[in-house]
């Protein structure tokens, strides 16, 4: 019998946890008649673990070591450098595989939609994150950190990551894996003041206490909070903020951290992070690049809606990083809910326009549920999708074929006739980046760290460096250049 063939699109945590769930759930059934191809646009696996997790969070980065075991499983194959919709279409995947799982995450940033947002000096935090993580799509010279004052807008963990990286002493970075040009910019940084701006209050902030606390642990940095912002009832006549603080331990822990900072006198350290709640950006201004951010005071009205209260202040800042969430991009030919920026699905089964599941199509991760949760959330999410997939495409242990009912759905005949994706691609002159080519990149990054006397790894930056390290099995251009 031919094995069940599954394509997973995206080699980030959602995609690799999906591959792992396939291996685990089929092994639990005593069946191993399954093959998983993981397709990835980049020549590198691990998605946000590599290009999203902050470099000063090595323990979260080490999830890559766990996911590596999935990629190296004999029934899993990495096919890098393949852009969905450019190199390979939905139709081709459905022709070649019994099931396709889309797990491409949420790669686009949300906008503020205020005047001046397009000025130089205004950028998405997502772009800044990709820059310090060495993502090849972001030029190493994208950020020079000439700004003395920076505003970071948003009350989520990405805003905390960005503020912390800006506030961290330069001496900490050689021990991380940031690329050399990023290390040079962080070392030369002139940043003194970081304003972390939240449009609602501490009870509504999405921060997690561990990430919030880390901001106060930076040497050489004061953290400032206006005690008035922490009066939950002052800005919320509905009482919901106080109620949320009573009911939710995360909010209580955040409030304890913030209250401690609010009562700590500033030490006059070289850098400071000011957390401002109940302030929303209304305009970025400057003659030819950002020189100021205008913010308006806000509150909740008696119906719990966020409203401006009129009082405005102008912050002199030279860099504004909006950290107001991510959104997924539609995949060519795949249904997409524009309002929620997800692929419509029921427990991971992709739903067509009439609301019924499309045969053989599944979704996992942020593309399935939106950009929420920590990396580990993708594990249970992927397991749910794979349960649905295997319920639709049962695989059976080779030894138990005699027990199979004659009518049981079987992958045998159609699978045997399915074309091989790599053969179709080869006929068009498209050659995926192999896992060995990725290992070439991995090896070069470790060697570079040794040569420079830095951490365990120093990221290569830019397509040219990645392709050189990938060797002949790599690509000569990035997928975006071919698009």
State in angstroms the smallest separation of the CB of 450 from ligand NAP: 28
According to DSSP, the β-strands at 193-197 and 221-225 are unpaired
Q: Which is nearer to ligand NAP, 295 or 466 (CB)?
A: 295
User: CB-wise, 261 or 366, nearer to ligand NAP?
Assistant: 366
On whether the CB atoms of residues 194 and 207 are closer than 8 A, the answer is no
Q: How far is the CB of 164 from ligand NAP (least distance, A)?
A: 10
* Least distance to ligand NAP, CB of residue 112, Å: 5
CB-nearer residue toward ligand NAP: 117 or 231: 117
Cβ proximity to ligand NAP: between 23 and 320 the closer is: 320
Q: Judged by CB, which is closer to ligand NAP: 307, or 426?
A: 307
Cβ-proximal residue to ligand NAP, closest one: 156
- As measured in angstroms, the least distance from the Cβ of 63 to ligand NAP is 11
Is the Cβ of residue 45 or residue 105 nearer to ligand NAP in the bound state? 105
CB of 126 to ligand NAP, least distance (A): 8
Helices assigned H by DSSP within 168-248: 180-187, 209-215, 240-247
Closest to 48 in 3D by CA, of 35, 176, 40: 40
The dihedral region occupied by 239, where left means phi > 0, alpha psi between -120 and 50, and beta the remainder, is left
In what helix (H) or strand (E) does residue 425 lie, and over which residues does it extend? helix 421-427
Q: Considering the complex, what minimum distance in angstroms separates the CB of residue 454 from ligand NAP?
A: 23
- Nearest approach in angstroms of CB 137 to ligand NAP is 18
Quick one: tokens of 63?
Answer: 């999830």
In angstroms, the CA 459 to CA 468 distance is: 13
> Tokens 């950002």 correspond to what residue?
290
Comparison of 263 and 305: residue with beta carbon closer to ligand NAP:
305
Residue the block writes with tokens 């349960």:
387
Give the span between the Cα atoms of 143 and 159, in whole angstroms: 17
Q: Which bin fits 446, alpha (ψ -120 to 50), beta or left (φ > 0)?
A: alpha
Three-state SS sequence of 8-74: EECCCHHHHHHHHHHHHHHHHCCCCCEEEEEECCCCCCCHHHHHCCCCCCHHHHCHHHHHHHHHCCC
Between 158 and 315, CB nearer to ligand NAP: 158
CB of 203 to ligand NAP, least distance (A): 11
Contact between 326 and 109 under an 8 Å Cβ cutoff? The reply is yes
Burial group, residue 419, by CB count within 10 angstroms (0-12, 13-18, 19+): exposed
CB of 93 or CB of 324, closer to ligand NAP: 324
Contact residues for ligand NAP (CB under 6 A)? 112, 153-159, 161, 199-200, 204, 206, 208, 211, 280, 323-326, 371-374
- Report in angstroms how near the CB of residue 93 gets to ligand NAP at its nearest: 28
Q: What is the Cα–Cα distance from 249 to 375, expressed in whole angstroms?
A: 21
Helix (H) or strand (E) holding 354: none
Q: Which is nearer to ligand NAP, 90 or 327 (CB)?
A: 327
CB of 187 to ligand NAP, least distance (A): 24
Q: Identify the CA nearest to 363 among candidates 78, 15, 21.
A: 15
């Amino acid at each position: 019998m031919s094995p069940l063939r599954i394509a997973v699109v995206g080699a980030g945590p959602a995609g690799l946890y999906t591959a792992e769930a396939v291996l685990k759930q089929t092994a639990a059934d005593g069946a191993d008649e399954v093959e998983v191809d993981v397709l990835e646009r980049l020549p590198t696996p691990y998605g946000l673990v590599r290009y999203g997790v902050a470099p000063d969070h090595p323990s979260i980065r080490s999830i890559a070591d766990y996911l590596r075991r999935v990629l190296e499983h004999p029934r899993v194959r990495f096919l890098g450098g393949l852009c969905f919709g450019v190199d390979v279409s939905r139709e081709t995947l459905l022709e070649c595989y019994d099931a396709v799982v889309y797990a491409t995450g949420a790669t686009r940033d949300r906008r503020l939609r205020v005047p001046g947002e397009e000025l130089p000096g205004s950028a998405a935090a997502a772009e800044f994150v990709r820059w310090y993580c060495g993502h090849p799509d972001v030029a190493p010279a994208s950020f020079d950190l000439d700004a003395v004052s920076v505003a970071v807008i948003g009350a989520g963990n990405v805003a905390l990551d960005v503020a912390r990286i800006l506030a961290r002493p330069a001496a900490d970075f050689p021990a991380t894996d940031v690329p050399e040009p990023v290390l040079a910019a962080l070392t030369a940084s002139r940043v003194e003041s970081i304003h972390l701006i939240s449009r609602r209050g501490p009870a509504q902030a999405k921060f997690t206490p561990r990430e919030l606390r880390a901001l106060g642990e930076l040497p050489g940095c004061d953290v400032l909070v206006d005690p008035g912002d922490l009066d939950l009832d002052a800005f919320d006549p509905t009482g919901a903020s106080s109620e949320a603080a009573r009911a939710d331990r995360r909010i209580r822990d955040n409030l304890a951290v913030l209250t401690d900072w609010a009562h700590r006198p500033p030490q006059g350290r070289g850098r400071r992070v000011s957390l401002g709640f109940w302030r929303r950006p209304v305009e970025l201004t400057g003659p030819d690049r950002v020189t100021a951010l205008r913010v308006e005071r806000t509150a909740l009205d008696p119906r719990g809606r966020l409203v401006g209260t009129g009082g405005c202040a102008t912050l002199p800042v030279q860099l504004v990083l909006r950290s107001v969430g991510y959104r997924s991009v539609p995949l060519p030919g795949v249904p997409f809910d524009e309002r929620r920026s997800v692929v419509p699905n029921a427990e991971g089964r992709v739903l067509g326009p009439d609301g019924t599941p499309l045969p053989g199509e599944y979704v996992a991760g942020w593309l399935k549920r939106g950009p929420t949760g920590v990396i580990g959330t993708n594990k249970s999410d992927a397991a749910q999708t794979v349960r649905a997939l295997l319920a639709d495409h049962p695989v059976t242990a080779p030894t138990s074929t005699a027990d199979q009912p004659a009518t049981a759905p079987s992958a045998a005949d159609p699978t045997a006739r399915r074309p091989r994706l790599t053969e179709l691609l080869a006929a068009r002159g498209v050659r995926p980046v192999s896992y060995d080519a990725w290992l070439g990149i991995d090896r070069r990054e470790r060697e570079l760290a040794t040569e420079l006397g830095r951490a365990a790894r120093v990221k290569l930056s830019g397509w040219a460096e990645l392709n050189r390290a990938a060797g002949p099995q790599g690509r000569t251009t990035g997928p975006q250049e071919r698009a």
